[in-house]
A and B are shown apart, each in its own frame.
Chain A
Amino acid sequence: MFSAGYRSIARRCHASSTLLQSQAKRTMATTEMTVRDAINSAIDEEMERDEKVFILGEEVAQYQGAYKVTKGLFQKYGSKRVIDTPITEMGFTGMAIGAAYKDLRPIVEFMTWNFSMQAIDQIVNSAAKQYYMSAGDIACPIVFRGPNGNAAGTSAQHSQCFAAWYSSVPGLKVVAPYNSEDARGLTKAAIRDNNPVVILEHELMYGVSFPVSDEVLKSDFVIPIGKAKIEREGTDVTIVTFSKMVGLALEAAEVLSASGTSCEVINLRSIRPIDRDTIINSVKKTGRIVSIETGWPQCGIGSEIAAIMMESDAFNWLDAPMERITGADVPMPYATDLENAALPQVEDVVATVNRLTKRQLVA
């Protein structure tokens, strides 16, 4: 349809215009904050702001959270609003959904998202579809949150990414924070949202500190759901990813930069709605795209992004087929070497990007 030459020129023009726009405003970071504290402070502030907000889950109250994300909340808000539940996901998830039907605003903590499988019927059938099937009569303002994806050495039943599962469901919003700014802004946005929102946190990120600006620390700081963030600007290849893998992408981008390849790293922040425009515009600039996720390849987030490439005009700007970097297509193994081999590594990103950028257009 388009000649290769045309595509190349158009891409370069597009690139120059977006480069001008992309003088990202950066506020000076003044504080370091862990992702754990970012989520904790966000929940705390939203509970203070609205008495209808309460949190329930296994070990969230007296034990202060299996990962200490709810630390101090029980002491501050008491047993009415910080509720230890039995280890019965289907029951307490359904209960929280019913409370949301009646205008309370529950936060359901899953000790990990793996256990949400016991409750997925409630999340999909009772929460996500309720407003639609009641023709706008009964809304379900609820947050489901907890650590998602791979942990360290927890093997098959406790190391799995559910981004693809939940993001396939209309009626749900799905967000996945990477750093402390994301965690604060997205958690607060999710609690204020009037729809069911799934927050896919990452266990291995809870203890990681990031600089946060004064803006981020403000009590009214929210990140709009549905908007991605360009974490690093680049011109040669677009890397689209989310959650912990944003860090991996940034690391790889640094390595690749040394050898002269300029990577643009997109932190999706929201998986549903997915920010199509940011991805498509980036590809129009770079002409190449790679996705990274820890989840399985089949029907994964990368698959969805590939479909966006095929179905949108982004296809006309591609100089190479899209590539996906995913978790290996096996259940997660336990031993360190096996686990590492099953998960994306920096070297996988570097190899993939190099392979992709070596494909030169024939003029």
Chain B
Amino acid sequence: MFATKAASLLLRRSAASASSSMAAVRGAGSVGSGIAANNLRFLSSSSTNSTATFDLTGSFETYNLETSPNNTIDMTKEELLSHFELMYTMRRMEITCDNEYKARAIRGFCHLYDGQEAVATGINAAFEPEDSWITSYRCHCTALARGGSVASVLGELFGNVDGQTKGKGGSMHFYNKAHNFYGGQGIVGAQVPVGLGLAFANHYNATPGKPMQVAIACYGDGAANQGQIWESANMASLWNLPMIFCIENNHYGMGTSMDRHSSHSDYYKMGNHIPGLRIDGMNVLAVKEGMRFVKEFVGGGNGPMYVEMMTYRYHGHSMSDPGTTYRNREEIALTRSTRDPLEFVKRTLIDAGFADAEQIKEIEKNIRKDVAAQVMKAKASPKPSIEPHLFEYVFTSNGGKEQNEFPPHIRMPDFQKSKYY
């Protein structure tokens, strides 16, 4: 029974993917269970050729909503180029992580985001810097979008002192409070109640009558059935908090496919009476427009929303997972060839006349060069010294950035080496 169900789901996904490649040519077509990705249709450009309009028909499915995102989006050349550049940097950074991990320069855990770049990029494009963001352990690219750099990410993965958390956190723990990025949380699902707290604070600090800053908690389809998420959804709705529950549905909870870990597959409907929106998460334009709509709805005091991003991760769950025991290579290859979020942006750039293939190649070359340079810089950073780095930031004195307070006693493995402050 299970095998049959799995096979049929897979077929459905593949069918959706196949139809999406046609949609790219013919224009949009709406789909049932999974959104057809890359349904690009360039509509028009302005006389100055600096703004273009793109068709998003079929990129969204709504639940309990009377309004919906627009079916078109206007993009300037600069916007679209910046999205492409960020996404390509993400892709190169993650591929570099893969290589460096295999070269044993990175230790511990390492979860890669390639394939899902359009999600973080689109959210970032729709958000203001004051909106709060928390995500799971698959956080390198969100860190990059929210004030980090390739050097700060790789530096951290190398365990060097100039890494974003000075070699204290590693792959799963990136933060940037100045950019309202709260992790980088390693416990599956635990970031969702915490994310609700960010929304609570935005609500607490809001000016009556004005739109609230929103908070988003991103988590995977594997976490989506956790009890603490339902607890959070209940409070978010009860208190009308400006909270976005964002399920990045990459179809696998670690190595367990959706049909084996979830009794349902419509994650955007999981909030019960809470409205939901399913977005083509391989289409950065759809993510951006969808999240613009969601931010406006949620920030306007209408309560929380569930968002499901239909996406795909190319790599296995982590570096110890080749990603091929529970899915087949054809599925990955088909996704790469028909739904790749970067290929999609490239096509939009070309179709809109914003760049030609040669220019795109040049941009890619420059980004590759820059990533390589930043990786060298990250590698050159020294390792953190035991003193003071092992002992700092157990406590804080005044709660500010890097305001350390030592506990009176830190016991060391050898008691003789214990610290007294």
> Which residues of A does B touch, CB under 8 Å?
54, 80, 85-86, 88, 90-104, 121-122, 125-126, 131-139, 141, 170-171, 173, 194-195, 226, 273, 276, 311
Given A98-B201, A99-B201, A126-B185, 18 additional A-B pairs, CB 8 A: A88-B234, A91-B196, A91-B231, A92-B193, A94-B194, A94-B197, A94-B228, A101-B194, A101-B197, A104-B201, A131-B396, A132-B394, A134-B173, A134-B177, A135-B168, A170-B394, A194-B399, A273-B408
Partner of B399 from the list A92, A139, A226 (CB cut-off 8 Å) is: A139
**B residues 198-221 in Cβ contact with A at 8 Å:** 198-202, 204, 215
Contact flag A97-B173 (CB < 8 Å), given A90-B231, A125-B186, A136-B392: no
**B residues 390-420 in Cβ contact with A at 8 Å:** 392-405, 407-410, 415
Residues in A neighbouring B145, C-beta threshold 8 A? none
Give, as a whole number of angstroms, the nearest-CB distance from A27 to chain B.
27
Instruction: Find out whether the CB atom of A133 lies under 8 angstroms from the CB atom of B235.
Output: no
Instruction: Find out whether the CB atom of B402 lies under 8 angstroms from the CB atom of A135.
Output: yes
Partner of B197 from the list A86, A96, A121, A276 (CB cut-off 8 Å) is: A96
Instruction: Find out whether the CB atom of B165 lies under 8 angstroms from the CB atom of A92.
Output: no
Q: 5 tightest A-B contacts by CB?
A: A98-B197, A94-B193, A91-B231, A194-B399, A102-B201
Question: In the bound complex, how far is the Cα of B176 from the Cα of A226, in angstroms?
Answer: 31
Question: In the bound complex, how far is the Cα of B192 from the Cα of A125, in angstroms?
Answer: 13
Residues in B neighbouring A173, C-beta threshold 8 A? 395
Give, as a whole number of angstroms, the nearest-CB distance from A67 to chain B.
23
Instruction: Find out whether the CB atom of B408 lies under 8 angstroms from the CB atom of A121.
Output: no
Residue of B nearest to A311 (CB): B415
Instruction: Find out whether the CB atom of A98 lies under 8 angstroms from the CB atom of B194.
Output: yes
Question: In the bound complex, how far is the Cα of B230 from the Cα of A36, in angstroms?
Answer: 34
Residues in A neighbouring B395, C-beta threshold 8 A? 131, 171, 173, 195
Instruction: Find out whether the CB atom of B200 lies under 8 angstroms from the CB atom of A99.
Output: yes
Instruction: Find out whether the CB atom of A134 lies under 8 angstroms from the CB atom of B408.
Output: no
Instruction: Find out whether the CB atom of A92 lies under 8 angstroms from the CB atom of B204.
Output: no
Partner of A135 from the list B166, B196, B200 (CB cut-off 8 Å) is: B166
Partner of A94 from the list B232, B401, B407 (CB cut-off 8 Å) is: B232
Residue of A nearest to B229 (CB): A91
Partner of B393 from the list A121, A136, A141, A276 (CB cut-off 8 Å) is: A136
State whether the Cβ of B253 lies closer than 8 Å to any Cβ in chain A.
no
Contact flag A95-B408 (CB < 8 Å), given A132-B393, A136-B401: no
State whether the Cβ of B175 lies closer than 8 Å to any Cβ in chain A.
yes
State whether the Cβ of B187 lies closer than 8 Å to any Cβ in chain A.
yes
Instruction: Find out whether the CB atom of B197 lies under 8 angstroms from the CB atom of A95.
Output: yes
Instruction: Find out whether the CB atom of B231 lies under 8 angstroms from the CB atom of A136.
Output: no
Residues in A neighbouring B192, C-beta threshold 8 A? 94
State whether the Cβ of B386 lies closer than 8 Å to any Cβ in chain A.
no
Question: In the bound complex, how far is the Cα of B215 from the Cα of A311, in angstroms?
Answer: 48
Give, as a whole number of angstroms, the nearest-CB distance from B349 to chain A.
36
Residues in B neighbouring A103, C-beta threshold 8 A? 201, 399
Residues in A neighbouring B275, C-beta threshold 8 A? none
28 contacts between A and B (CB under 8 A): A54-B204, A80-B204, A88-B231, A91-B235, A94-B190, A94-B192, A94-B193, A94-B194, A94-B197, A97-B193, A97-B194, A98-B194, A98-B200, A100-B197, A101-B197, A102-B201, A122-B193, A125-B187, A125-B190, A133-B165, A133-B168, A134-B173, A134-B177, A134-B393, A135-B393, A136-B403, A138-B182, A194-B397
State whether the Cβ of B195 lies closer than 8 Å to any Cβ in chain A.
yes
Give, as a whole number of angstroms, the nearest-CB distance from A100 to chain B.
7
Residue of A nearest to B410 (CB): A170
Question: In the bound complex, how far is the Cα of B199 from the Cα of A138, in angstroms?
Answer: 16
Question: In the bound complex, how far is the Cα of B399 from the Cα of A288, in angstroms?
Answer: 41
Question: In the bound complex, how far is the Cα of B195 from the Cα of A96, in angstroms?
Answer: 10
Residues in A neighbouring B300, C-beta threshold 8 A? none
Question: In the bound complex, how far is the Cα of B166 from the Cα of A247, in angstroms?
Answer: 47
User: Interface code B251-270, partner A: CB below 8 Å = 1, 0 otherwise?
Assistant: 00000000000000000000
Residues in A neighbouring B399, C-beta threshold 8 A? 103, 139, 141, 194
Question: In the bound complex, how far is the Cα of B197 from the Cα of A93, in angstroms?
Answer: 9
Give, as a whole number of angstroms, the nearest-CB distance from A101 to chain B.
5
Residues in A neighbouring B183, C-beta threshold 8 A? 134, 138
State whether the Cβ of B136 lies closer than 8 Å to any Cβ in chain A.
no
Residues in B neighbouring A99, C-beta threshold 8 A? 197-198, 200-201, 204
Give, as a whole number of angstroms, the nearest-CB distance from B176 to chain A.
7
Partner of A92 from the list B132, B134, B215, B231 (CB cut-off 8 Å) is: B231
Instruction: Find out whether the CB atom of B187 lies under 8 angstroms from the CB atom of A98.
Output: no
Interface residues on B, range: 35 or more
Question: In the bound complex, how far is the Cα of B230 from the Cα of A228, in angstroms?
Answer: 42
Question: In the bound complex, how far is the Cα of B33 from the Cα of A361, in angstroms?
Answer: 82
Q: Which of B185, B230, B404, B407 has the most CB of A within 10 A?
A: B407
Residues in B neighbouring A85, C-beta threshold 8 A? 235
Instruction: Find out whether the CB atom of B175 lies under 8 angstroms from the CB atom of A102.
Output: no
Question: In the bound complex, how far is the Cα of B57 from the Cα of A363, in angstroms?
Answer: 95
Residues in B neighbouring A126, C-beta threshold 8 A? 185, 187, 190, 194
Instruction: Find out whether the CB atom of B235 lies under 8 angstroms from the CB atom of A86.
Output: yes
Residue of A nearest to B407 (CB): A273
State whether the Cβ of B238 lies closer than 8 Å to any Cβ in chain A.
yes
Partner of B227 from the list A80, A90, A125 (CB cut-off 8 Å) is: A90
Give, as a whole number of angstroms, the nearest-CB distance from B28 to chain A.
38
Contact flag A134-B234 (CB < 8 Å), given A139-B399, A195-B396: no
Residues in A neighbouring B193, C-beta threshold 8 A? 90-95, 97-98, 122
Residues in A neighbouring B166, C-beta threshold 8 A? 135
Give, as a whole number of angstroms, the nearest-CB distance from A62 to chain B.
15
Question: In the bound complex, how far is the Cα of B410 from the Cα of A132, in angstroms?
Answer: 14
Give, as a whole number of angstroms, the nearest-CB distance from A223 to chain B.
15
Give, as a whole number of angstroms, the nearest-CB distance from A323 to chain B.
22
Question: In the bound complex, how far is the Cα of B194 from the Cα of A125, in angstroms?
Answer: 11
Residues in A neighbouring B204, C-beta threshold 8 A? 54, 80, 99, 104
Question: In the bound complex, how far is the Cα of B189 from the Cα of A94, in angstroms?
Answer: 11
**B residues 260-310 in Cβ contact with A at 8 Å:** none
Residues in B neighbouring A54, C-beta threshold 8 A? 204
Contact flag A137-B231 (CB < 8 Å), given A95-B193, A273-B408, A276-B409: no
Contact flag A137-B408 (CB < 8 Å), given A95-B197, A97-B194: no
Question: In the bound complex, how far is the Cα of B407 from the Cα of A226, in angstroms?
Answer: 9
Instruction: Find out whether the CB atom of B398 lies under 8 angstroms from the CB atom of A194.
Output: yes
Instruction: Find out whether the CB atom of A138 lies under 8 angstroms from the CB atom of B232.
Output: no
Residues in B neighbouring A100, C-beta threshold 8 A? 197
Give, as a whole number of angstroms, the nearest-CB distance from A140 to chain B.
9
Contact flag A137-B401 (CB < 8 Å), given A91-B196, A95-B194: yes
Residues in A neighbouring B398, C-beta threshold 8 A? 194
Residues in A neighbouring B405, C-beta threshold 8 A? 195
Residues in A neighbouring B407, C-beta threshold 8 A? 170, 273
Partner of B132 from the list A96, A102, A273 (CB cut-off 8 Å) is: A102
Question: In the bound complex, how far is the Cα of B402 from the Cα of A52, in angstroms?
Answer: 21
Residues in A neighbouring B200, C-beta threshold 8 A? 95, 98-99, 104
State whether the Cβ of B169 lies closer than 8 Å to any Cβ in chain A.
yes
Residue of B nearest to A101 (CB): B182
Give, as a whole number of angstroms, the nearest-CB distance from A70 to chain B.
18
Give, as a whole number of angstroms, the nearest-CB distance from B394 to chain A.
5
